[in-house]
Amino acid sequence: MITQTIRYELANGIATITFDEQGSPVNTMCLQWQDDLGAVTAQLVTDRAQIKGIALASAKSTFFAGADLKGVMRSTEADGPRVFGEIERMKKHFRTIETLGVPVVSCLNGAALGGGWEVALLGHHRVAVNNPKISFGLPEITLGLIPGAGGITKMTRMLGLMAAQPYILESKLFGPEEAFKLGLVHELVASPEELMPKALAYIEAAQGKPEACTHVWDRKDYKMPGGTPSNPKIAGLLSVAPAVLKQKTRGLYPAPEAALAAMVEGAMVDFDTAMRVESRYLAGLMTGNVARNMINTFFFNMNAIKGGQSRPKDVAKYQPKKVGILGAGMMGSGIAYAQATRGIATVLKDVSLEAAEKGKGYTARLTQKRVDKGQMSAEKQQGILNLITPTASAAGLKGCDLIIEAVFEQRELKAMVTKEAEPMLAEGGFFASNTSTLPISGLAQASAKPAKFVGIHFFSPVDKMKLVEIIRGKGTDDETIARAYDYVQALGKLPIVVNDSRGFYTSRTFGTFVMEGAAMLGEGIPAPVIENAAMQAGMPVGPLAVLDETALSLSVHVLEQTRLDFQKEGRQYVATPGETLVEQMVKQHRRPGRAGGGGFYDYPEGGKKHLWPQLQALYEKPGVEWNLQDVKDRLLYRQAVETARCLAEGVLTSVHDGNIGSIFGIGFPAWTGGALQFIYGQGIEAFEARCAALAARHGSGFILADAVKAALRQHQPQY
User: What is the per-residue pLDDT across 194-252, written as a single tens digit (0 to 9) for each?
Assistant: 999 999 999 999 999 999 999 999 999 999 998 888 888 888 777 788 888 888 888 89
**Chain-centre distance of CA 275, in angstroms?**
30
In a domain, 314, yes or no: no
Interval 314-373: pLDDT, tens? 999 999 999 999 999 999 999 999 999 999 999 999 999 999 999 999 999 999 999 999
Q: Where are the beta strands (DSSP E) in 313-387?
A: 322-326, 345-349
Q: Give me the amino acid identity at 364.
A: A
pLDDT at 152: 97
Return the number of other C-beta atoms located less than 10 Å from residue 274's C-beta.
Answer: 23
Are residues 454 and 577 both part of a single domain?
no
- pLDDT computed for residue 255 by the predictor: 95
Q: How confident is the model at residue 229, as a pLDDT?
A: 87
Domain encompassing residue 630 = 507-650+683-714
- For residue 273, give every residue at least 6 positions away whose Cβ sits within 8 Å of its Cβ, in sequence order, or none: 266
φ, ψ (nearest 5 deg) of residue 17: -110, 110
- Provide the CATH number for the domain around residue 697: 1.10.1040.50
Q: Are residues 258 and 372 in the same domain?
A: no
Spatial distance between the Cα atoms of 292 and 681, rounded to a whole number of angstroms: 8
Catalytic residue among 21, 86, 98, 140, which? 140
pLDDT at site 521 = 97
pLDDT tens track for 554-605: 899 888 988 988 898 899 999 999 999 999 999 999 999 999 999 999 999 9
Split into its structural domains, the chain has a count of: 3
**Cα–Cα distances in Å, from 644 out to 300, 641, 674, 684?**
20, 5, 12, 11
Residues 263 and 397 in one domain: no
Residues 6+ apart with CB under 8 A from 535: 250, 541, 542
Quick one: 262 and 340 in the same domain?
no
* Residue 316 domain flag: no
Collapsed DSSP state (helix, strand, coil) of residue 136: strand
User: Are 494 and 516 found together in one domain?
Assistant: no
Q: Is 118 annotated in the active site?
A: yes
CB atoms within 10 A of CB 232: 8
Residues 373-393: tens digit of each pLDDT: 999 999 999 999 999 999 999
35-77 tens-digit pLDDT: 999 999 999 999 999 999 999 999 999 999 988 888 888 888 8
pTM attached to this predicted model: 0.90
pLDDT of residue 92: 97
* Residue 268 one-letter amino acid: M
Which residues are registered as beta bridge partners of 498?
Answer: 471, 652
Residue 68: the pLDDT is: 80
pLDDT at 43: 97
Provide the pLDDT for residue 235. 83
Question: Mean pLDDT of all residues in the chain?
Answer: 94
Shared-domain flag, residues 328 and 208: no
How far apart are the C-alpha atoms of 435 and 504, rounded to whole Å?
A: 10
418 in any annotated domain: yes
**In this structure, is residue 45 part of a structural domain?**
yes
pLDDT band at 88 (very low <50, low <70, confident <90, very high): very high
Annotated catalytic residue 479: no
The CATH number assigned to the domain holding 20 equals 3.90.226.10
Average the pLDDT over 615-639 and give the result.
94
* Radius of gyration of the chain, Cα coordinates, nearest whole angstrom: 29
Domain CATH number, residue 378 = 3.40.50.720
Mean pLDDT, to the nearest integer, of 700-707? 96
Select from 502, 529, 549 the last residue of a domain: 502
Query: Helical H runs in 373-434?
Result: 378-386, 411-421
Q: What is the mean pLDDT of residues 1-14?
A: 94
Residue 663: inside a domain: no
Residue at 312 is within a domain: no
Do 209 and 165 belong to one domain? yes
Task: Tell how strand 53-58 and strand 104-108 pair up.
Answer: parallel
Tell me how far apart the alpha carbons of residues 407 and 330 are, in angstroms, rounded to a whole number. 10
Catalytic residue among 21, 86, 98, 118: 118
What separation, in Å, do the N-terminal and C-terminal C-alpha atoms of the chain show? 32
Cβ atoms of 507 and 480 within 8 Å: the answer is no
Tell me the per-residue pLDDT of 96-123, one tens digit each, with 9 for 90 and over. Answer: 999 999 999 999 999 999 999 999 999 9
Q: What pLDDT digit, counting tens, does each position of 455-503 carry? A: 999 998 999 999 999 999 999 999 999 999 999 999 999 999 999 988 8
| Cβ atoms < 10 Å from Cβ of 112 | 30
Q: Could you tell me whether strands 453-458 and 467-472 are parallel, antiparallel, or unpaired per DSSP bridges?
A: antiparallel
Cis peptide bond N-terminal to 450, omega within 30: no
- Which of 438, 472, 502 is the last residue in one of the domains? 502
Q: Do 274 and 341 share a domain, yes or no?
A: no
- Residue 394 pLDDT: 94
Q: 497 - beta bridge partners?
A: 470
Q: Within a domain: residue 164?
A: yes
Residues 138 and 229 in one domain: yes
Q: Are residues 485 and 350 in the same domain?
A: yes
Is 224 inside any structural domain?
Answer: yes
Question: What percent of the chain is modeled with pLDDT above 90?
Answer: 88
End position of a domain, from candidates 264, 287, 310: 287
Contact 497, 367 (CB under 8 A): no
Residue 164 identity: A
| Segment holding 684, helix H or strand E | helix 684-698
Give residue-wise pLDDT tens across range 492-534.
Answer: 999 999 999 888 999 999 999 999 999 999 999 999 999 999 9
| Domain co-membership, 463 together with 514 | no
pLDDT at position 679 is 97
Q: How far is CA 690 from CA 640, 686, 695, 696, in A?
A: 12, 6, 9, 10
- For residue 588, count CB atoms less than 10 angstroms from its CB and return exposed for 0-12, middle for 13-18, buried for 19 or more: exposed
Question: Quick one: 365 exposed, middle or buried, by C-beta within 10 A (0-12, 13-18, 19+)?
Answer: exposed
| Same domain membership, residue 531 and residue 407 | no
The C-alpha angle with vertex 412 and arms to 406 and 417, in degrees rounded to 5, equals 45
* Contact in structure between 344 and 387 (CB atoms under 8 Å): yes
DSSP reduced 3-state for 54? strand
